[in-house]
Amino acid sequence: MGSPTPAAAPLPSITTELLTSLYQHRLLTTAQILAMHFPGRTRRRAEEVLATLTRRRLIAFVRPGRRKPRLYFLTLAGTQAVEQVPTRVETRRKLITPEQAAGPLWQHTLAVNDTGIAFMRAARERGDEFGAFSWRHEIAHQAPTPGHTRSELLISDALLTYLAHNPDGQLTFHYRLLELDRATVPTDTLATKLARYTNLYHPTPTRRTQPANTPTWQTHYPIFPDIACILTGAPRPALQRRTQTVLALCHTDPHLQATPQVRISLALLQDLQTHGPHAPIWHQPPNPTRTLDWLGRDPDVGPNP
């Protein structure tokens, strides 16, 4: 018999967190990994860890085009390693192939992760809690269809869960369902999807296992999440026009008018990354010209009623 193959040296503890992050967020660039897992460290340190994981075939990367960043994703071995971690947040990720990693949705996935990272940076500055695992991709809901006894699937691009430490010592959870728009669909299509969240707010008549008049969302959230729509993928003037058009369509939508509990806010990803979510960069349909922070507060007036 030959001598046994020596076991690989144990990985640093940071790698478990990084692998779990790739498992949850699908695709990440070096810059995103640096921001999420190596704050205050040099890019070289992040590259060293990524190189080690690549050599061990736990992760791989593709370039979707010339001068494009490396897109890191888990290999089968990396996925299996993460699925041995009992404390991982996600339990439903599927293996991404190199073709899928470089496919048409990579920019959308990175933009969702850029959104999460912007909230993560804000939380660090304020002493709040929003880490690398505080946003989850593709959250599916069963939403009733008005006038029918059936539901249809409403899929949010992500769910963000932010824990704020208030000055009075109280803790407050803030939930946001994210719609990431890359200007690839007509503005009325985007506005229609945003208005469909009113269907989610109302009870689902086909769920026999729930008490009468209990909305489906109450089985998942203690309060109905606000809807955050982030726009990117086009020049700034085009995105600003797109924002105003969507706001106008939402403002006149009868379902949104009848359901003020469904609050929608729009912001540009560029502004979110530059100024952070607490800056007055958000617009809401009731008053499209008024700028608010992500909690609906006007810095000159106070909390939005």
- DSSP string across 113-133: HHHHHHHHHHHHHHT-B--TT
User: What is the CATH code for 13-101?
Assistant: 1.10.10.10
pLDDT of residue 298: 86
Residue type, 150: R
Beta-bridge partner residues of 226: 176
**pLDDT tens digits, one per residue of 131-190:** 999 999 999 998 877 655 567 889 999 999 999 999 898 999 999 999 999 999 999 999
Delimit the CATH 1.10.10.10 region(s) of the chain. 13-101
CA distances from 260 to 161, 178, 212, 217 (A): 22, 18, 22, 16
d(CA 59, CA 30): 13
pLDDT of residue 177: 98
What is the longest distance spanned by two Cα atoms in the chain? Answer: 79
**pLDDT tens digits, one per residue of 32-54:** 999 999 998 999 999 999 999 99
Helices (H) then strands (E): counts for the chain? 11, 11
Q: How many residues does the chain have?
A: 305
Instruction: Split the chain (305 residues) into runs of 10 and give each run's mean pLDDT.
Output: 44 82 95 95 93 95 90 93 77 78 92 98 97 95 70 92 94 97 97 95 62 75 96 98 98 95 97 98 95 90 50
Percentage above 90 pLDDT, the chain: 69
